[in-house]
Amino acid sequence: ENGSNGWLRYAPLPDNLRQHASSLALPSAIVTLNSTEASPIQTAGKELAAGIQGVLGRSLQVSHDIATASDLSSSILVGTVATYSSAGYGSLNASSFAADGFWLRVNGSSVTIISQNERGALYGAFEYLSRISQGDFSDVDLLSNPDAPIRWVNQWDNLEGTIERGYAGPSIFFSNGLIVQDLTRVSQYARLLASVRVNAIVVNNVNANPSLLNETNIEGLGRIADAMRPYGVQVGISLNFASPDLLGGLKTFDPLESSVITWWTDKTDELYKRIPDFAGYLVKANSEGQPGPLTYNRTLADAANLFARALQPHGGIVMFRAFVYDHHLDPANWKADRANAAVEFFKELDGQFLDNVVVQIKYGPIDFQVREPASPLFANIPNTNTAIELQITQEYLGHQDHLVYIPPLWKTILDFDLRVDSKPSLVRDIVAGRRFNKKLGGYAGVVNVGTSINWLGSHTAMSNLYAYGQLAWDPTQDSQELLQDWTRLTFGLDQSVVETVSKISMASWAAYENYTGNLGIQTLTDILYTHFGPNPANMDNNGWGQWTHADRTTIGMDRTVSNGTGFAGQYPAELAAMYESVETTPDELLLWFHHVSYTHRLRASGKTVIQHFYDAHYAGAETAQTFVSAWEALRGKVDAERFEHVLFRLKFQAGHAIVWRDAVCGFYHNLSGIPDEAGRVGHHPYRIEAESMALSGYSPVAVALAEMASNST
């Protein structure tokens, strides 16, 4: 049990359920209505056979020729609306199927899986397998359509094989500037993605290397696409905007220059020649040192449309990132608020993007912090297709060394009502295209799996990938129910395992927020590179605009219109008014929107801000300690290999939560001089200081953030 199959283990059912299953009339054959080699329907047939073999120990034959299929009333029939009717089964109401949607009917021993396109049938097969893997053999008649057409993942893999913000080893795609030869893991990854209905992947870093577009690498991308195609996962790439210059030698990358337009058009045609179902481009421009159209005084829309025109004849799309900002801001000028950037750049371009452009917006206005308000950009470009960018790789959330189940955070954004024109305007309805009548839209999740055998370096982190795909398909699903399905599929059906994993996971985001950064102050981490351990001191003197604006008596970014950076005014009127006032801003975002004294009292608890900091950090760290004992109680109920692996990480997290607690509490205690009412801060109860340990081979060194160390060393 090394985790390589993720949640697709098809583990044998426990004896009682197998016995129950053997008393039922179950399908005895599989018929796939498509004989094309490597089509998703063929994959569905193979997957069904393997799954049923694993779960029930029965071998079923797969046939493509209905005439020889034993008995259809006890078969699993897999096909599309078109192949179903041409095979003479009657006609289905094609209009009730969206692209990628499927119909699954289980009627005793007859199982029917029909879809509009091929990959939909594969999704239906995975749905059936998920049910029987969890011991559910009941009849069902389910028509399931996706909420949004775009359900992509992004990998931030570099051509030399490293991964930006990847915590699970080197790339499965690239090595030494080339696409790797053995793509076995790439197709296994496609299998995992298809099982949660992800339909495309961007394989390289948004900080893109132009040589991905050379001839050898285009051929390599073709091999990646071939490896993923049987799972219905289309391939796209990130572009370096300056490629016509850097790779093409044109000495310009002006998006309106005809030589540049021709260069991109030819490149795009070349890609489609090798990869006819190529998904499209992802573009990061004029952000964090990346080249972009602003160099030539062209707009971001000029840039996006350049690619849109090249892709349009082939049916491809451009995901154009809204993550555009200046990372050389002057910390002394705190009103130059990075949070304002996306709306400032994109609002005036609304309506100028072509139909196959989608603006990809990070969920919050800054950068994947532990708590952010929903990005106001979702409300400001009603005439533009949009997608939400979420992050599965735990960049600011403890890498994969801390267990943080993220869907509850994502839900605060997806379910958030932006009240555009004082009408219901949930973020999930905006990105699905419903709210503003757009055809395109959806989800992009930054994943960054690596060569680690369990994909993300942590078994439990896989729940985030699982739930990401499921929520992109249907964002109204319950985070806890998704987690429980994932747990049964991953660790088995023992109820105590399901309850424990559920309890830990559902408590994890709140705990992490408690020990790393409260009241909307963001994750108080090192900003300059690692984004891992605590470094509250660094929050105010960086050029990256992730500021807390803390001094000896006050803290928080005043983002009001009246006295602050004006950010609150980027929201539609009702919300702008709510965030403008300290009285109506929800406590969890207080310091995101307001600059207050440490002794300001919170509305809900009546505690002061500083006392809330102390209490929350102690509470969060204490919760993290309970994860260890809760997991330890499962010894013997989870296979030893994964049990120890998870335990090791939970112990690390428990310790690191204390480091976080003491560093952040100590820092604000020193800064404000305000004592902790409970008398804990500065005394470090429960902590074992380095001085009291017997260690050999170590010598004391001064530590830059004194609060993180034992007596400053």
Cite the active site residues: 288, 367, 395
Q: Per CB under 6 A, which of residues 651..690 are in contact with ligand BDP?
A: none
Candidate list 18, 127, 164, 344; residue touching ligand BDP; CB under 6 A: 164
Amino acid at 547: W
Amino acid at 35: S
Q: What angle do CA 340, 344, 349 make, to 5 degrees?
A: 150
Contact map string, positions 304 to 343, toward ligand BDP, x by CB under 6 A: -------------------x--------------------
Nearer to ligand BDP, 175 or 207 (CB): 207
Shortest distance (Å) from residue 290 CB to ligand BDP? 8
Nearer to ligand BDP, 77 or 431 (CB): 431
Structure tokens that stand for 505 in this block: 């996971």
Query: What's the Rg (C-alpha) of the chain?
Result: 26
Total residues interacting with ligand BDP, rule: CB under 6 A = 10
Shortest distance (Å) from residue 155 CB to ligand BDP? 12
Coil, helix or strand at residue 256: coil
Amino acid at 360: Q
Site for ligand BDP contains 165 (CB under 6 A): yes
The sign one gets for the Cα dihedral 648, 650, 652, 655 is: negative
Site for ligand BDP contains 1 (CB under 6 A): no
Structure tokens that stand for 264 in this block: 């991109």
Nearer to ligand BDP, 102 or 592 (CB): 592
Shortest distance (Å) from residue 531 CB to ligand BDP? 6
Contact map string, positions 111 to 150, toward ligand BDP, x by CB under 6 A: ----------------------------------------
Contact map string, positions 206 to 245, toward ligand BDP, x by CB under 6 A: xx--------------------------------------
Nearer to ligand BDP, 375 or 479 (CB): 375
Shortest distance (Å) from residue 119 CB to ligand BDP? 28
Strand partners, 238: 282
Shortest distance (Å) from residue 201 CB to ligand BDP? 16
Shortest distance (Å) from residue 391 CB to ligand BDP? 8
State the CB neighbour count (10 A cutoff) for residue 89. Answer: 16
Q: How far apart are CA 471 and CA 194, in angstroms?
A: 14
Nearer to ligand BDP, 106 or 206 (CB): 206
Nearer to ligand BDP, 225 or 342 (CB): 342
Nearer to ligand BDP, 7 or 323 (CB): 323
Closest residue to bound ligand BDP by CB: 367
Structure tokens that stand for 548 in this block: 């807390």
Strand partners, 359: 320, 386
Q: How far apart are CA 397 and CA 404, in angstroms?
A: 7
Q: What angle do CA 161, 165, 167 make, to 5 degrees?
A: 80
Please say whether the beta carbons of 198 and 236 come within 8 A.
no
Coil, helix or strand at residue 636: coil
Nearer to ligand BDP, 228 or 431 (CB): 431
Residue environment code for 234-272, b if the CB has 16+ CB neighbours within 10 A, otherwise e = bbbbbbbbbbbbbbbebeebbbebeebbebbbebbeebb
Amino acid at 344: E
Q: How far apart are CA 236 and CA 99, in angstroms?
A: 19
Shortest distance (Å) from residue 325 CB to ligand BDP? 10
Contact map string, positions 393 to 432, toward ligand BDP, x by CB under 6 A: --x-------------------------------------
Nearer to ligand BDP, 248 or 545 (CB): 545
State the CB neighbour count (10 A cutoff) for residue 333. Answer: 8
Shortest distance (Å) from residue 480 CB to ligand BDP? 28
Amino acid at 556: G
Q: What angle do CA 144, 379, 603 make, to 5 degrees?
A: 100
Site for ligand BDP contains 513 (CB under 6 A): no
Torsion angle (degrees, nearest 10) of CA 417, 423, 428, 434? 180
Nearer to ligand BDP, 114 or 390 (CB): 390
Q: Per CB under 6 A, which of residues 342..371 are in contact with ligand BDP?
A: 367-368
Shortest distance (Å) from residue 530 CB to ligand BDP? 10
Q: How far apart are CA 320 and CA 309, in angstroms?
A: 14
Shortest distance (Å) from residue 86 CB to ligand BDP? 46
Please say whether the beta carbons of 333 and 325 come within 8 A.
no
The secondary structure of residue 674, as a DSSP letter, is P
Residues with Cβ within 8 Å of 650's Cβ and at least 6 positions away in sequence, in order, are 403, 627, 628, 631
Q: Per CB under 6 A, which of residues 42..71 are in contact with ligand BDP?
A: none
The secondary structure of residue 12, as a DSSP letter, is P
Contact map string, positions 265 to 304, toward ligand BDP, x by CB under 6 A: -------------------x---x----------------
Task: List helix spans (H) across 229-299.
Answer: 243-246, 258-274
The owner of tokens 């609060």 is 707
Coil, helix or strand at residue 22: helix
Please say whether the beta carbons of 556 and 596 come within 8 A.
yes
Nearer to ligand BDP, 395 or 401 (CB): 395
Shortest distance (Å) from residue 206 CB to ligand BDP? 5
The secondary structure of residue 528, as a DSSP letter, is T
Please say whether the beta carbons of 667 and 686 come within 8 A.
no
Residues that bind ligand BDP (CB under 6 A): 164-165, 206-207, 284, 288, 323, 367-368, 395
